[in-house]
Amino acid sequence: MLSIKPEKRKHLLIFRFLCVGSLLAVLAGLSSCSSSFPSDVSRTIPVSKTATTLSKNLVIAGFLTVGSYAAYPPQENVDQANNTIVGFDIDLITAIASHMNLKLKIVNTDFKNIINSLLAKNFDVAISAIIITPDLQQRVSFVPYFIGGESLLVTKGNPLRITGLQHLCGLKVAVNASTLEQKDLGMVSSNCVQEKKPPIQITVLQDQTAVVQLLLNKRVVAAYQDSPVTDYFINQYPGRFEVGGPVINANLEGIAIRKDDTDMFKAVQAAFTALKTNGTYCSLIKKWGLTSGVLMQNNRRICS
């Protein structure tokens, strides 16, 4: 989801950009993915008492202008009812802007060009589930804020004790079409056969909600998708689901900032540190149910 993580993003471009409509049944009022973008969304936020020294090179004076591809719930998506971009990433950057004594302006942009647009100074920072890679670190600076990856969704209690893809041989598993997760399941299924075990019985659907519905109806024993999506459905269906094992292919996601804008980097970093300290970060994690993506510190998640 741009060559942000070459293998991961190659497939997620298909998934996140073309298949986001799959969550519509659950995320009522949120938009489906399309090739066009809604107009920029501006939000005025209360000014906090904390004063921060900021770069004078803001795109718009008095605003933190933020680039985001708002079609990846639950981290960012457009609520068509009021044309407001919502999600965990949006709540977080809103709190950061408030701490910096700035109003917030979100520019909904094509993810493929989000880094180039940032470098072209179309916005001050970018937040959009951007995976931090060595290649991108050569181009921009990052303030890490989340851990993204893939994970298994299983029924509450995990009766089959599924803790990883290696436990899926011979089992019925659902997955969204044209995703990295589908490719991974196919590879693991081939390994099952090589080890003289039955292959995974993979059901591939175009709609993520339909994938989860199969699990609800007990027609499959697990669903495999991006870890924030797994967490979101656990939050949406209390007592029905849990995560089957740890996050797979975990990667840090970060707020991207131009390397030459050191004042902005320091201000965003200081604001994010303050939000971790005062509990805002953990509150937002809890609000959106994204517990598996919490940052680690001293080998422990910073939110309980």
Does residue 255 sit in the same domain as residue 142? yes
One-letter amino acid for residue 298 of the chain: N
Q: Please compute, for residue 254, the number of CA atoms within 13 A of its CA located in the half-sphere on the CB side.
A: 22
How many Å apart are CA 1 and CA 12, to the nearest integer?
5
CA distances to 227, 242, 298 from 249, in Å: 10, 18, 20
User: Can you tell me the mean pLDDT for 155-164?
Assistant: 97
Let me know if residue 254 belongs to a domain.
yes
Task: Return the pLDDT at 6.
Answer: 37
Does residue 228 sit in the same domain as residue 132? no
Does residue 109 sit in the same domain as residue 156? no
Lowest mean pLDDT among 35-39, 94-98, 122-126, 159-163: 35-39
Tokens of 74: 């639950």
141: buried, middle or exposed (CB in 10 Å: 19+, 13-18, 0-12)?
Answer: buried
Does residue 113 sit in the same domain as residue 228? no
Does residue 92 sit in the same domain as residue 162? no
Does residue 166 sit in the same domain as residue 274? no
How many Å apart are CA 111 and CA 2, to the nearest integer?
7
CATH number of the CATH domain containing 20:
3.40.190.10
Let me know if residue 52 belongs to a domain.
yes
How many Å apart are CA 176 and CA 207, to the nearest integer?
6
How many Å apart are CA 145 and CA 10, to the nearest integer?
22
Does residue 141 sit in the same domain as residue 256? yes
pTM: 0.77
Does residue 133 sit in the same domain as residue 214? no
Number of domains in the chain: 2
pLDDT at 217 over 70: yes
User: Can you tell me the mean pLDDT for 69-81?
Assistant: 89
Share of the chain above pLDDT 70, in %: 82
Containing domain of residue 189, as a range?
150-249
First to last CA, the chain: 29
User: Can you tell me the mean pLDDT for 9-34?
Assistant: 38
Phi, psi of 82 (to 5 degrees): -135, 15
Q: Is the separation of the CB atoms in 181 and 189 below 8 Å?
A: no
Give the helix ranges, DSSP H, for the chain.
Answer: 6-18, 88-99, 114-119, 134-137, 180-194, 208-216, 227-236, 262-277, 280-288
Does residue 163 sit in the same domain as residue 125? no
CA distances to 84, 137, 233 from 221, in Å: 36, 39, 15
Does residue 133 sit in the same domain as residue 21? yes
Let me know if residue 302 belongs to a domain.
no
